[in-house]
Structure 1
Amino acid sequence: MDNLNGLLAFVRAAQNESFAGAAERMGISASAVGKSVARLEEKLSVRLFNRSTRRISLTDEGQLFFERCQNIVAQLEEAEQELVRISAVPRGKLRITAPAIGYRILLPHLPEFRQRYPQVELDLDFSDRMVDVIDEGFDIAIRSGELSSSQMMSRRLGPFRFAIVGSPLYFAQHAAPQIPQHLQHHACLRYRFPGTGQWQEWATNSPSPPELPLALSSNNLESILQAALQGLGLAYVPEFIVRNYVASGELISVLEPHLKEGGKFSVVWPSSRHMLPKVRVFIDFLTEKQVLC
Protein backbone atom coordinates (compact mmCIF):
# COMPACT_ATOMS: atom_id res chain seq x y z
CA MET A 1 0.00 0.00 0.00
CA ASP A 2 2.90 2.35 0.74
CA ASN A 3 4.19 1.73 -2.80
CA LEU A 4 0.78 2.66 -4.23
CA ASN A 5 0.68 5.85 -2.15
CA GLY A 6 4.13 6.72 -3.43
CA LEU A 7 3.09 6.12 -7.02
CA LEU A 8 -0.02 8.26 -6.59
CA ALA A 9 1.97 11.09 -4.94
CA PHE A 10 4.54 10.94 -7.76
CA VAL A 11 1.91 11.02 -10.53
CA ARG A 12 -0.04 13.89 -8.95
CA ALA A 13 3.14 15.88 -8.39
CA ALA A 14 4.19 15.34 -12.01
CA GLN A 15 0.76 16.33 -13.31
CA ASN A 16 0.70 19.53 -11.23
CA GLU A 17 4.46 20.24 -11.42
CA SER A 18 4.17 20.97 -7.74
CA PHE A 19 4.10 19.11 -4.43
CA ALA A 20 1.60 21.68 -3.16
CA GLY A 21 -0.71 21.12 -6.14
CA ALA A 22 -0.52 17.37 -5.63
CA ALA A 23 -1.24 17.80 -1.93
CA GLU A 24 -4.37 19.82 -2.68
CA ARG A 25 -5.71 17.11 -5.01
CA MET A 26 -4.91 14.31 -2.56
CA GLY A 27 -6.12 16.10 0.57
CA ILE A 28 -2.81 15.77 2.42
CA SER A 29 0.09 18.12 3.19
CA ALA A 30 2.80 19.09 0.72
CA SER A 31 5.33 17.70 3.18
CA ALA A 32 3.61 14.29 3.08
CA VAL A 33 3.71 14.30 -0.72
CA GLY A 34 7.40 15.19 -0.72
CA LYS A 35 8.22 12.43 1.76
CA SER A 36 6.25 9.81 -0.24
CA VAL A 37 8.12 10.76 -3.41
CA ALA A 38 11.46 10.70 -1.57
CA ARG A 39 10.77 7.18 -0.25
CA LEU A 40 9.86 6.08 -3.76
CA GLU A 41 13.10 7.53 -5.15
CA GLU A 42 15.06 5.78 -2.43
CA LYS A 43 13.39 2.46 -3.19
CA LEU A 44 14.05 2.83 -6.93
CA SER A 45 17.55 4.25 -6.43
CA VAL A 46 16.84 6.96 -8.97
CA ARG A 47 16.03 10.68 -8.87
CA LEU A 48 12.59 11.33 -10.36
CA PHE A 49 12.39 15.13 -9.99
CA ASN A 50 14.71 18.08 -10.39
CA ARG A 51 13.94 20.30 -7.41
CA SER A 52 14.40 24.04 -6.98
CA THR A 53 12.99 26.51 -4.49
CA ARG A 54 10.22 27.48 -6.91
CA ARG A 55 9.30 24.41 -8.93
CA ILE A 56 9.89 20.76 -9.69
CA SER A 57 10.43 19.12 -13.06
CA LEU A 58 10.80 15.53 -14.18
CA THR A 59 14.21 14.04 -14.84
CA ASP A 60 14.61 11.88 -17.94
CA GLU A 61 14.15 8.81 -15.76
CA GLY A 62 11.18 10.46 -14.08
CA GLN A 63 9.53 11.21 -17.43
CA LEU A 64 9.84 7.56 -18.49
CA PHE A 65 8.46 6.38 -15.15
CA PHE A 66 5.62 8.92 -15.27
CA GLU A 67 4.41 7.71 -18.67
CA ARG A 68 4.00 4.21 -17.28
CA CYS A 69 2.67 5.13 -13.83
CA GLN A 70 0.04 7.55 -15.13
CA ASN A 71 -1.77 4.68 -16.87
CA ILE A 72 -1.45 2.47 -13.79
CA VAL A 73 -3.00 5.10 -11.52
CA ALA A 74 -5.82 5.74 -14.02
CA GLN A 75 -6.62 2.02 -14.19
CA LEU A 76 -6.64 1.72 -10.39
CA GLU A 77 -9.03 4.66 -10.13
CA GLU A 78 -11.32 3.18 -12.77
CA ALA A 79 -11.33 -0.19 -10.97
CA GLU A 80 -12.30 1.53 -7.73
CA GLN A 81 -15.04 3.54 -9.45
CA GLU A 82 -16.39 0.40 -11.12
CA LEU A 83 -16.75 -1.30 -7.74
CA VAL A 84 -18.55 1.76 -6.39
CA ARG A 85 -20.92 1.80 -9.36
CA ILE A 86 -21.71 -1.90 -9.05
CA SER A 87 -22.47 -1.65 -5.35
CA ALA A 88 -24.51 1.57 -5.58
CA VAL A 89 -28.29 1.30 -5.48
CA PRO A 90 -29.93 3.01 -8.50
CA ARG A 91 -32.11 5.86 -7.26
CA GLY A 92 -33.34 9.34 -8.10
CA LYS A 93 -35.07 10.99 -11.06
CA LEU A 94 -34.13 9.62 -14.48
CA ARG A 95 -34.95 12.06 -17.29
CA ILE A 96 -35.51 10.35 -20.64
CA THR A 97 -36.34 11.93 -23.99
CA ALA A 98 -37.55 9.95 -27.00
CA PRO A 99 -39.39 10.54 -30.31
CA ALA A 100 -43.13 11.17 -29.93
CA ILE A 101 -43.86 7.65 -31.11
CA GLY A 102 -41.29 6.30 -28.63
CA TYR A 103 -43.91 5.58 -26.01
CA ARG A 104 -44.82 2.51 -28.08
CA ILE A 105 -41.25 1.28 -27.60
CA LEU A 106 -40.80 2.10 -23.92
CA LEU A 107 -44.12 1.89 -22.08
CA PRO A 108 -44.71 -1.88 -22.42
CA HIS A 109 -41.42 -2.52 -20.60
CA LEU A 110 -41.56 0.11 -17.87
CA PRO A 111 -43.63 -1.85 -15.32
CA GLU A 112 -40.90 -4.49 -15.15
CA PHE A 113 -38.19 -1.83 -14.85
CA ARG A 114 -40.06 -0.12 -12.00
CA GLN A 115 -40.47 -3.44 -10.25
CA ARG A 116 -36.72 -4.05 -10.43
CA TYR A 117 -35.69 -0.51 -9.50
CA PRO A 118 -38.46 1.06 -7.39
CA GLN A 119 -36.21 3.91 -6.22
CA VAL A 120 -35.76 5.24 -9.77
CA GLU A 121 -38.32 7.93 -10.68
CA LEU A 122 -38.98 8.08 -14.44
CA ASP A 123 -39.45 11.50 -16.05
CA LEU A 124 -40.42 10.96 -19.71
CA ASP A 125 -40.39 13.45 -22.59
CA PHE A 126 -41.84 12.31 -25.93
CA SER A 127 -41.17 14.84 -28.66
CA ASP A 128 -40.08 14.88 -32.29
CA ARG A 129 -38.04 18.05 -31.84
CA MET A 130 -34.25 17.68 -31.65
CA VAL A 131 -33.65 17.89 -27.92
CA ASP A 132 -30.28 19.11 -26.63
CA VAL A 133 -29.67 16.35 -24.11
CA ILE A 134 -26.88 18.08 -22.20
CA ASP A 135 -28.21 21.65 -22.13
CA GLU A 136 -31.73 20.54 -21.19
CA GLY A 137 -30.53 18.21 -18.45
CA PHE A 138 -31.64 14.83 -19.79
CA ASP A 139 -29.91 11.66 -18.64
CA ILE A 140 -30.82 9.48 -21.63
CA ALA A 141 -32.19 9.94 -25.15
CA ILE A 142 -33.63 7.44 -27.61
CA ARG A 143 -32.53 8.48 -31.09
CA SER A 144 -32.95 7.13 -34.61
CA GLY A 145 -30.53 7.48 -37.50
CA GLU A 146 -26.83 8.22 -37.45
CA LEU A 147 -25.23 9.76 -34.37
CA SER A 148 -22.41 12.26 -34.68
CA SER A 149 -21.94 14.16 -31.41
CA SER A 150 -18.60 13.49 -29.72
CA GLN A 151 -20.20 14.55 -26.43
CA MET A 152 -22.48 11.51 -26.43
CA MET A 153 -22.01 7.81 -25.84
CA SER A 154 -24.39 5.36 -27.50
CA ARG A 155 -25.57 1.78 -27.60
CA ARG A 156 -27.59 0.36 -30.45
CA LEU A 157 -31.04 -0.95 -29.57
CA GLY A 158 -31.79 -2.53 -32.91
CA PRO A 159 -32.93 -1.95 -36.49
CA PHE A 160 -36.48 -1.38 -37.66
CA ARG A 161 -38.25 -1.49 -41.01
CA PHE A 162 -40.75 0.87 -42.56
CA ALA A 163 -44.13 -0.13 -43.99
CA ILE A 164 -46.57 1.49 -46.40
CA VAL A 165 -50.07 0.88 -45.11
CA GLY A 166 -53.68 1.75 -45.85
CA SER A 167 -57.02 0.75 -44.41
CA PRO A 168 -59.48 -1.77 -45.99
CA LEU A 169 -61.82 1.21 -46.47
CA TYR A 170 -59.20 2.99 -48.57
CA PHE A 171 -58.40 -0.11 -50.64
CA ALA A 172 -62.11 -0.72 -51.25
CA GLN A 173 -61.96 2.45 -53.37
CA HIS A 174 -58.37 2.26 -54.71
CA ALA A 175 -56.43 -0.63 -56.21
CA ALA A 176 -53.41 -1.58 -54.11
CA PRO A 177 -50.11 -0.43 -55.68
CA GLN A 178 -48.00 -3.22 -57.12
CA ILE A 179 -44.83 -1.24 -57.84
CA PRO A 180 -43.52 2.05 -56.36
CA GLN A 181 -44.53 4.03 -59.47
CA HIS A 182 -48.18 3.26 -58.72
CA LEU A 183 -47.91 5.53 -55.65
CA GLN A 184 -48.33 8.55 -57.90
CA HIS A 185 -51.99 7.55 -58.25
CA HIS A 186 -52.65 7.39 -54.49
CA ALA A 187 -53.43 9.81 -51.69
CA CYS A 188 -50.30 10.02 -49.55
CA LEU A 189 -50.08 10.94 -45.88
CA ARG A 190 -46.68 12.61 -45.42
CA TYR A 191 -44.62 13.07 -42.26
CA ARG A 192 -42.85 16.44 -41.94
CA PHE A 193 -39.77 16.69 -39.70
CA PRO A 194 -40.44 19.33 -37.00
CA GLY A 195 -36.93 20.75 -36.98
CA THR A 196 -36.44 21.23 -40.73
CA GLY A 197 -39.93 21.09 -42.22
CA GLN A 198 -38.66 18.59 -44.80
CA TRP A 199 -40.74 15.63 -45.94
CA GLN A 200 -39.69 12.15 -44.91
CA GLU A 201 -38.55 10.18 -47.93
CA TRP A 202 -40.48 7.04 -48.84
CA ALA A 203 -37.43 4.85 -49.45
CA THR A 204 -38.18 2.36 -52.23
CA ASN A 205 -35.95 0.50 -54.64
CA SER A 206 -37.39 2.41 -57.59
CA PRO A 207 -34.61 3.92 -59.76
CA SER A 208 -36.67 7.10 -60.09
CA PRO A 209 -38.66 8.02 -56.95
CA PRO A 210 -42.35 8.41 -57.78
CA GLU A 211 -44.23 11.63 -57.15
CA LEU A 212 -46.32 11.34 -54.00
CA PRO A 213 -49.64 13.22 -54.23
CA LEU A 214 -50.20 14.92 -50.90
CA ALA A 215 -53.48 14.27 -49.13
CA LEU A 216 -52.39 15.20 -45.59
CA SER A 217 -49.18 16.23 -43.83
CA SER A 218 -48.26 16.31 -40.17
CA ASN A 219 -45.23 16.63 -37.92
CA ASN A 220 -46.59 13.87 -35.67
CA LEU A 221 -46.49 10.19 -36.66
CA GLU A 222 -49.39 9.30 -34.38
CA SER A 223 -51.70 11.58 -36.36
CA ILE A 224 -50.43 10.05 -39.62
CA LEU A 225 -51.29 6.62 -38.27
CA GLN A 226 -54.79 7.68 -37.23
CA ALA A 227 -55.40 9.26 -40.64
CA ALA A 228 -54.44 5.97 -42.29
CA LEU A 229 -56.82 4.06 -40.00
CA GLN A 230 -59.61 6.47 -41.04
CA GLY A 231 -59.04 5.65 -44.71
CA LEU A 232 -57.60 9.01 -45.74
CA GLY A 233 -54.68 7.53 -47.68
CA LEU A 234 -51.42 5.60 -47.55
CA ALA A 235 -48.89 6.16 -44.79
CA TYR A 236 -45.17 5.40 -44.62
CA VAL A 237 -44.43 4.57 -40.98
CA PRO A 238 -42.13 2.39 -38.84
CA GLU A 239 -43.33 -1.19 -39.05
CA PHE A 240 -43.36 -1.70 -35.28
CA ILE A 241 -46.11 0.89 -34.76
CA VAL A 242 -48.50 -0.78 -37.23
CA ARG A 243 -47.62 -4.43 -36.58
CA ASN A 244 -50.71 -5.10 -34.45
CA TYR A 245 -53.02 -3.19 -36.82
CA VAL A 246 -51.80 -5.25 -39.78
CA ALA A 247 -52.20 -8.48 -37.79
CA SER A 248 -55.79 -7.53 -36.89
CA GLY A 249 -56.67 -6.51 -40.46
CA GLU A 250 -57.28 -2.85 -39.57
CA LEU A 251 -54.44 -1.90 -41.92
CA ILE A 252 -53.02 -3.58 -45.01
CA SER A 253 -49.31 -3.45 -45.81
CA VAL A 254 -48.28 -3.02 -49.47
CA LEU A 255 -45.08 -2.90 -51.53
CA GLU A 256 -43.09 -4.81 -48.88
CA PRO A 257 -40.58 -6.32 -51.37
CA HIS A 258 -39.93 -2.85 -52.81
CA LEU A 259 -38.99 -1.03 -49.58
CA LYS A 260 -35.40 -0.34 -48.68
CA GLU A 261 -33.91 -1.28 -45.33
CA GLY A 262 -35.24 0.95 -42.55
CA GLY A 263 -33.46 2.74 -39.74
CA LYS A 264 -32.06 1.98 -36.32
CA PHE A 265 -32.65 3.19 -32.80
CA SER A 266 -29.91 3.86 -30.28
CA VAL A 267 -29.89 4.87 -26.66
CA VAL A 268 -27.51 7.79 -26.06
CA TRP A 269 -26.24 9.55 -22.97
CA PRO A 270 -23.71 12.29 -22.18
CA SER A 271 -20.15 11.00 -22.25
CA SER A 272 -18.44 11.20 -18.89
CA ARG A 273 -16.08 9.08 -16.91
CA HIS A 274 -18.70 8.25 -14.29
CA MET A 275 -22.05 6.74 -15.30
CA LEU A 276 -24.67 7.06 -12.60
CA PRO A 277 -26.21 3.74 -11.48
CA LYS A 278 -29.73 4.83 -12.55
CA VAL A 279 -28.42 5.49 -16.08
CA ARG A 280 -26.42 2.29 -16.27
CA VAL A 281 -29.28 -0.01 -15.22
CA PHE A 282 -31.77 1.60 -17.63
CA ILE A 283 -29.39 1.23 -20.59
CA ASP A 284 -28.66 -2.38 -19.64
CA PHE A 285 -32.39 -3.02 -19.25
CA LEU A 286 -33.26 -1.67 -22.70
CA THR A 287 -30.52 -3.77 -24.27
CA GLU A 288 -31.63 -6.88 -22.39
CA LYS A 289 -35.31 -6.50 -23.33
CA GLN A 290 -34.56 -5.97 -27.05
CA VAL A 291 -37.31 -3.37 -27.09
CA LEU A 292 -37.81 -3.33 -30.87
CA CYS A 293 -38.51 -7.06 -31.14
Structure 2
Amino acid sequence: MNALGGLEIFVQTAQSQSFVATGRSLGISASAVSKSISRLEARMGVRLFQRSTRTVRLTSEGEEFLQRCRRILDEVQAAEDHMSAMTGRPRGRLRVGLALAGGLPLPVIADFMQAYPEIELDLDFTDRMVDVIEEGFDVVIRGTDLSDSRLKSRPLGPYRACIVAAPGYLNAHGVPSSPADLLDHACLHYRWQNSGKLYQWPFKQTAARSTVGQLPVAMICSDVAALLYMAKAGRGIACLPDFAVRDALADGQLQTLLTTHLTGASTFHIVWPSSRQMAPRVRVFVDFVVAHFARGLVIEKAG
Protein backbone atom coordinates (compact mmCIF):
# COMPACT_ATOMS: atom_id res chain seq x y z
CA MET A 1 0.00 0.00 0.00
CA ASN A 2 2.93 2.36 0.70
CA ALA A 3 4.25 1.59 -2.77
CA LEU A 4 0.89 2.39 -4.33
CA GLY A 5 0.79 5.64 -2.39
CA GLY A 6 4.20 6.52 -3.79
CA LEU A 7 2.99 5.81 -7.31
CA GLU A 8 -0.05 8.06 -6.80
CA ILE A 9 2.19 10.88 -5.61
CA PHE A 10 4.46 10.36 -8.63
CA VAL A 11 1.56 10.45 -11.12
CA GLN A 12 0.03 13.52 -9.48
CA THR A 13 3.40 15.31 -9.59
CA ALA A 14 3.87 14.39 -13.24
CA GLN A 15 0.49 15.96 -13.99
CA SER A 16 0.91 19.13 -11.92
CA GLN A 17 4.69 19.60 -12.48
CA SER A 18 4.84 21.02 -8.98
CA PHE A 19 5.55 19.57 -5.54
CA VAL A 20 3.50 22.37 -3.97
CA ALA A 21 0.44 21.77 -6.19
CA THR A 22 0.66 18.01 -5.62
CA GLY A 23 0.87 18.48 -1.87
CA ARG A 24 -2.10 20.84 -1.91
CA SER A 25 -4.14 18.36 -3.94
CA LEU A 26 -3.28 15.39 -1.72
CA GLY A 27 -3.40 17.22 1.60
CA ILE A 28 0.29 16.77 2.45
CA SER A 29 3.29 19.09 2.53
CA ALA A 30 5.48 19.84 -0.48
CA SER A 31 8.46 18.41 1.43
CA ALA A 32 6.57 15.14 1.94
CA VAL A 33 5.96 14.98 -1.81
CA SER A 34 9.64 15.64 -2.53
CA LYS A 35 10.76 12.96 -0.07
CA SER A 36 8.35 10.42 -1.57
CA ILE A 37 9.69 11.08 -5.07
CA SER A 38 13.29 10.87 -3.83
CA ARG A 39 12.60 7.52 -2.13
CA LEU A 40 11.02 6.22 -5.34
CA GLU A 41 14.01 7.35 -7.41
CA ALA A 42 16.46 5.81 -4.93
CA ARG A 43 14.59 2.50 -4.94
CA MET A 44 14.56 2.37 -8.74
CA GLY A 45 18.04 3.78 -9.28
CA VAL A 46 16.90 6.34 -11.91
CA ARG A 47 16.03 10.02 -11.93
CA LEU A 48 12.35 10.51 -12.71
CA PHE A 49 12.23 14.32 -12.67
CA GLN A 50 14.43 17.21 -13.68
CA ARG A 51 14.01 19.77 -10.91
CA SER A 52 14.26 23.56 -11.15
CA THR A 53 13.41 26.29 -8.69
CA ARG A 54 9.91 26.67 -10.16
CA THR A 55 8.88 23.40 -11.83
CA VAL A 56 9.65 19.71 -12.07
CA ARG A 57 9.60 17.92 -15.43
CA LEU A 58 9.76 14.24 -16.30
CA THR A 59 12.94 12.69 -17.61
CA SER A 60 12.70 10.19 -20.48
CA GLU A 61 12.77 7.41 -17.88
CA GLY A 62 10.06 9.23 -15.96
CA GLU A 63 7.87 9.44 -19.07
CA GLU A 64 8.09 5.67 -19.58
CA PHE A 65 7.48 4.98 -15.90
CA LEU A 66 4.43 7.28 -15.91
CA GLN A 67 2.69 5.19 -18.57
CA ARG A 68 3.24 2.01 -16.55
CA CYS A 69 2.09 3.66 -13.33
CA ARG A 70 -1.11 4.84 -14.95
CA ARG A 71 -1.88 1.32 -16.12
CA ILE A 72 -1.21 -0.06 -12.63
CA LEU A 73 -3.41 2.54 -10.92
CA ASP A 74 -6.12 2.07 -13.55
CA GLU A 75 -6.15 -1.66 -12.76
CA VAL A 76 -6.41 -0.96 -9.04
CA GLN A 77 -9.27 1.46 -9.68
CA ALA A 78 -10.99 -1.06 -11.97
CA ALA A 79 -10.83 -3.65 -9.19
CA GLU A 80 -12.37 -1.18 -6.74
CA ASP A 81 -15.06 -0.26 -9.28
CA HIS A 82 -15.87 -3.94 -9.78
CA MET A 83 -16.34 -4.48 -6.05
CA SER A 84 -18.37 -1.28 -5.83
CA ALA A 85 -20.68 -2.52 -8.58
CA MET A 86 -21.06 -5.89 -6.83
CA THR A 87 -22.10 -4.29 -3.55
CA GLY A 88 -24.39 -1.79 -5.27
CA ARG A 89 -22.84 1.08 -3.30
CA PRO A 90 -20.65 3.40 -5.43
CA ARG A 91 -17.48 4.32 -3.60
CA GLY A 92 -13.95 5.51 -4.18
CA ARG A 93 -12.22 8.79 -5.02
CA LEU A 94 -13.79 11.03 -7.66
CA ARG A 95 -11.70 13.87 -9.09
CA VAL A 96 -13.96 16.64 -10.36
CA GLY A 97 -12.97 19.76 -12.29
CA LEU A 98 -15.28 22.72 -11.78
CA ALA A 99 -15.50 26.15 -13.38
CA LEU A 100 -15.22 29.19 -11.14
CA ALA A 101 -18.95 29.79 -11.47
CA GLY A 102 -19.90 31.91 -8.50
CA GLY A 103 -20.77 28.95 -6.28
CA LEU A 104 -23.29 27.59 -8.80
CA PRO A 105 -22.36 23.87 -8.43
CA LEU A 106 -22.01 23.88 -4.63
CA PRO A 107 -25.64 23.07 -3.61
CA VAL A 108 -25.66 20.14 -6.04
CA ILE A 109 -22.28 18.91 -4.76
CA ALA A 110 -23.48 19.14 -1.16
CA ASP A 111 -26.62 17.13 -1.93
CA PHE A 112 -24.57 14.54 -3.82
CA MET A 113 -22.28 14.08 -0.81
CA GLN A 114 -25.31 13.38 1.37
CA ALA A 115 -26.73 10.91 -1.14
CA TYR A 116 -23.41 9.07 -1.73
CA PRO A 117 -21.31 9.35 1.45
CA GLU A 118 -18.89 6.59 0.43
CA ILE A 119 -17.63 8.55 -2.59
CA GLU A 120 -14.63 10.74 -1.76
CA LEU A 121 -14.77 13.97 -3.75
CA ASP A 122 -11.61 15.78 -4.86
CA LEU A 123 -12.78 19.15 -6.24
CA ASP A 124 -10.54 21.35 -8.39
CA PHE A 125 -11.88 24.86 -9.15
CA THR A 126 -10.26 26.70 -12.06
CA ASP A 127 -11.19 29.04 -14.90
CA ARG A 128 -8.78 27.44 -17.37
CA MET A 129 -9.61 24.76 -19.93
CA VAL A 130 -8.23 21.63 -18.26
CA ASP A 131 -7.10 18.56 -20.17
CA VAL A 132 -9.52 16.05 -18.68
CA ILE A 133 -7.51 12.96 -19.62
CA GLU A 134 -3.91 14.12 -19.22
CA GLU A 135 -4.62 15.78 -15.86
CA GLY A 136 -6.41 12.74 -14.50
CA PHE A 137 -9.92 14.09 -14.00
CA ASP A 138 -12.81 11.64 -13.74
CA VAL A 139 -15.37 14.26 -14.72
CA VAL A 140 -15.42 18.01 -15.41
CA ILE A 141 -18.22 20.59 -15.36
CA ARG A 142 -17.50 23.49 -17.67
CA GLY A 143 -19.26 26.28 -19.49
CA THR A 144 -17.77 25.74 -22.94
CA ASP A 145 -18.54 23.65 -26.00
CA LEU A 146 -17.12 20.13 -26.36
CA SER A 147 -14.40 19.93 -29.02
CA ASP A 148 -12.35 16.91 -27.89
CA SER A 149 -13.27 13.61 -29.54
CA ARG A 150 -11.76 11.74 -26.59
CA LEU A 151 -14.56 12.99 -24.35
CA LYS A 152 -18.25 12.34 -23.89
CA SER A 153 -20.62 14.98 -22.57
CA ARG A 154 -24.16 15.80 -21.52
CA PRO A 155 -25.62 19.33 -21.47
CA LEU A 156 -26.57 20.78 -18.09
CA GLY A 157 -28.34 23.95 -19.18
CA PRO A 158 -27.78 27.36 -20.74
CA TYR A 159 -26.58 30.64 -19.27
CA ARG A 160 -25.83 34.09 -20.65
CA ALA A 161 -23.88 37.17 -19.69
CA CYS A 162 -25.62 40.21 -18.20
CA ILE A 163 -24.40 43.78 -17.89
CA VAL A 164 -25.65 45.07 -14.55
CA ALA A 165 -25.47 48.02 -12.21
CA ALA A 166 -27.07 49.13 -8.97
CA PRO A 167 -30.00 51.58 -9.20
CA GLY A 168 -28.11 54.03 -6.99
CA TYR A 169 -25.16 54.06 -9.36
CA LEU A 170 -27.43 54.62 -12.38
CA ASN A 171 -29.32 57.43 -10.62
CA ALA A 172 -26.03 59.19 -9.96
CA HIS A 173 -24.30 58.57 -13.30
CA GLY A 174 -27.05 57.96 -15.85
CA VAL A 175 -28.19 54.86 -17.76
CA PRO A 176 -26.08 53.90 -20.81
CA SER A 177 -28.19 53.40 -23.93
CA SER A 178 -25.42 51.98 -26.13
CA PRO A 179 -22.07 50.20 -25.61
CA ALA A 180 -20.26 53.41 -26.53
CA ASP A 181 -21.87 55.14 -23.53
CA LEU A 182 -19.90 52.82 -21.24
CA LEU A 183 -16.79 54.87 -22.03
CA ASP A 184 -18.15 57.47 -19.60
CA HIS A 185 -18.82 54.99 -16.78
CA ALA A 186 -16.91 53.15 -14.08
CA CYS A 187 -16.52 49.56 -15.32
CA LEU A 188 -15.76 46.57 -13.09
CA HIS A 189 -13.78 43.84 -14.83
CA TYR A 190 -13.12 40.11 -14.32
CA ARG A 191 -9.58 38.78 -14.87
CA TRP A 192 -9.10 35.13 -15.87
CA GLN A 193 -6.88 33.60 -13.19
CA ASN A 194 -4.99 31.34 -15.57
CA SER A 195 -4.20 33.74 -18.43
CA GLY A 196 -4.33 37.06 -16.60
CA LYS A 197 -6.45 38.49 -19.42
CA LEU A 198 -9.61 40.51 -18.86
CA TYR A 199 -12.96 38.91 -19.69
CA GLN A 200 -14.26 40.45 -22.91
CA TRP A 201 -17.84 41.68 -22.61
CA PRO A 202 -19.76 39.78 -25.33
CA PHE A 203 -21.26 42.46 -27.57
CA LYS A 204 -22.83 41.43 -30.87
CA GLN A 205 -21.80 44.15 -33.30
CA THR A 206 -18.24 44.65 -34.47
CA ALA A 207 -18.33 48.33 -33.59
CA ALA A 208 -19.53 47.51 -30.09
CA ARG A 209 -16.84 44.83 -29.66
CA SER A 210 -14.17 47.38 -30.54
CA THR A 211 -15.38 49.42 -27.58
CA VAL A 212 -14.48 46.64 -25.14
CA GLY A 213 -10.76 47.32 -25.26
CA GLN A 214 -11.38 50.97 -24.44
CA LEU A 215 -13.69 50.46 -21.46
CA PRO A 216 -12.63 52.38 -18.34
CA VAL A 217 -11.26 50.28 -15.50
CA ALA A 218 -12.56 51.12 -12.06
CA MET A 219 -11.62 47.70 -10.67
CA ILE A 220 -10.23 44.35 -11.79
CA CYS A 221 -10.70 41.15 -9.79
CA SER A 222 -10.50 37.40 -10.31
CA ASP A 223 -13.48 36.44 -8.17
CA VAL A 224 -17.12 36.48 -9.34
CA ALA A 225 -18.45 36.96 -5.81
CA ALA A 226 -16.25 40.04 -5.27
CA LEU A 227 -17.32 41.50 -8.62
CA LEU A 228 -20.98 40.96 -7.72
CA TYR A 229 -20.50 42.62 -4.33
CA MET A 230 -18.93 45.74 -5.83
CA ALA A 231 -21.68 46.02 -8.44
CA LYS A 232 -24.37 45.80 -5.73
CA ALA A 233 -22.45 48.37 -3.69
CA GLY A 234 -22.83 50.84 -6.57
CA ARG A 235 -19.15 51.01 -7.47
CA GLY A 236 -19.73 50.63 -11.20
CA ILE A 237 -21.08 48.54 -14.06
CA ALA A 238 -20.15 44.86 -14.35
CA CYS A 239 -20.66 41.97 -16.78
CA LEU A 240 -21.62 38.80 -14.92
CA PRO A 241 -23.34 35.47 -15.68
CA ASP A 242 -27.09 35.52 -15.23
CA PHE A 243 -27.11 32.82 -12.54
CA ALA A 244 -24.73 34.92 -10.41
CA VAL A 245 -27.00 38.01 -10.50
CA ARG A 246 -30.41 36.29 -10.42
CA ASP A 247 -31.15 37.02 -6.76
CA ALA A 248 -29.80 40.58 -6.91
CA LEU A 249 -32.04 41.30 -9.91
CA ALA A 250 -35.07 39.76 -8.21
CA ASP A 251 -34.74 41.92 -5.08
CA GLY A 252 -33.89 45.10 -6.98
CA GLN A 253 -30.26 45.44 -5.91
CA LEU A 254 -29.19 45.35 -9.58
CA GLN A 255 -30.79 45.98 -12.94
CA THR A 256 -29.76 44.81 -16.40
CA LEU A 257 -28.42 47.08 -19.13
CA LEU A 258 -27.87 46.86 -22.90
CA THR A 259 -29.48 43.41 -23.13
CA THR A 260 -30.21 43.69 -26.87
CA HIS A 261 -26.53 44.34 -27.57
CA LEU A 262 -25.26 41.07 -26.07
CA THR A 263 -24.75 37.69 -27.72
CA GLY A 264 -26.91 34.67 -26.93
CA ALA A 265 -26.58 31.89 -24.38
CA SER A 266 -23.76 29.40 -23.80
CA THR A 267 -24.26 25.97 -22.25
CA PHE A 268 -22.75 24.18 -19.26
CA HIS A 269 -21.65 20.61 -19.97
CA ILE A 270 -20.50 17.71 -17.85
CA VAL A 271 -17.73 15.77 -19.60
CA TRP A 272 -15.76 12.58 -18.96
CA PRO A 273 -13.24 10.41 -20.87
CA SER A 274 -14.88 8.26 -23.54
CA SER A 275 -12.02 5.75 -23.55
CA ARG A 276 -12.69 4.52 -20.02
CA GLN A 277 -15.42 2.19 -18.88
CA MET A 278 -17.79 4.38 -16.90
CA ALA A 279 -17.18 3.58 -13.25
CA PRO A 280 -20.22 3.42 -10.92
CA ARG A 281 -19.07 6.50 -9.02
CA VAL A 282 -18.78 8.48 -12.28
CA ARG A 283 -22.13 7.26 -13.56
CA VAL A 284 -24.05 8.24 -10.43
CA PHE A 285 -22.31 11.62 -10.28
CA VAL A 286 -23.13 12.41 -13.92
CA ASP A 287 -26.76 11.33 -13.52
CA PHE A 288 -27.14 13.30 -10.29
CA VAL A 289 -25.64 16.50 -11.70
CA VAL A 290 -27.71 16.28 -14.90
CA ALA A 291 -30.88 15.88 -12.81
CA HIS A 292 -30.19 18.74 -10.38
CA PHE A 293 -27.75 21.27 -11.88
CA ALA A 294 -30.30 23.33 -13.83
CA ARG A 295 -32.14 24.38 -10.68
CA GLY A 296 -29.40 26.97 -10.16
CA LEU A 297 -29.70 28.39 -13.68
CA VAL A 298 -31.91 31.21 -14.91
CA ILE A 299 -32.85 29.91 -18.34
CA GLU A 300 -34.93 26.73 -18.54
CA LYS A 301 -32.76 23.69 -19.22
CA ALA A 302 -32.38 22.91 -22.91
CA GLY A 303 -33.61 19.59 -24.29
TM-score (norm 1): 0.64
Cα deviation, residue 87, structure 1: 7.4
Which residue of the partner structure matches residue 229 of structure 2? 226
Query: What SS is found at the alignment partner of 1:265?
Result: strand
Where does 1:1-293 land on structure 2 (aligned, <5 Å)? Answer: 88-101=88-101, 104-209=103-208, 210=211, 211-291=214-294, 292-293=296-297
CA contact (8 A) 1:188 1:216 kept: yes
The residue identity in structure 2 corresponding to 1:124 is L
CA contact (8 A) 1:128 1:220 kept: no
Rounded to whole Å, the distance in 2 between the matches of 1:260 and 1:272 is: 35
CA contact (8 A) 1:144 1:263 kept: yes
Rounded to whole Å, the distance in 1 between the matches of 2:198 and 2:265 is: 16
CA contact (8 A) 1:129 1:195 kept: yes
Look at both structures and tell me which one has the larger radius of gyration over its CA atoms: 1
Rounded to whole Å, the distance in 2 between the matches of 1:192 and 1:290 is: 25
Cα deviation, residue 288, structure 1: 1.4
Q: Percent identity?
A: 42
CA contact (8 A) 2:108 2:293 kept: no
Cα deviation, residue 132, structure 1: 3.4
Q: Deviations over 1:213-265 (max 9, x none)?
A: 12122233232222212222111110001100111122222122322103211
CA contact (8 A) 2:105 2:293 kept: no
CA contact (8 A) 1:101 1:222 kept: no
Rounded to whole Å, the distance in 2 between the matches of 1:86 and 1:289 is: 27
Root mean square deviation, CA, Å: 2.5
Rounded to whole Å, the distance in 2 between the matches of 1:135 and 1:229 is: 40
Larger displacement relative to structure 2 (130-139 or 278-287): 130-139
Larger displacement relative to structure 2 (198-207 or 141-150): 198-207
Query: What SS is found at the alignment partner of 1:100?
Result: coil
TM-score (norm 2): 0.63
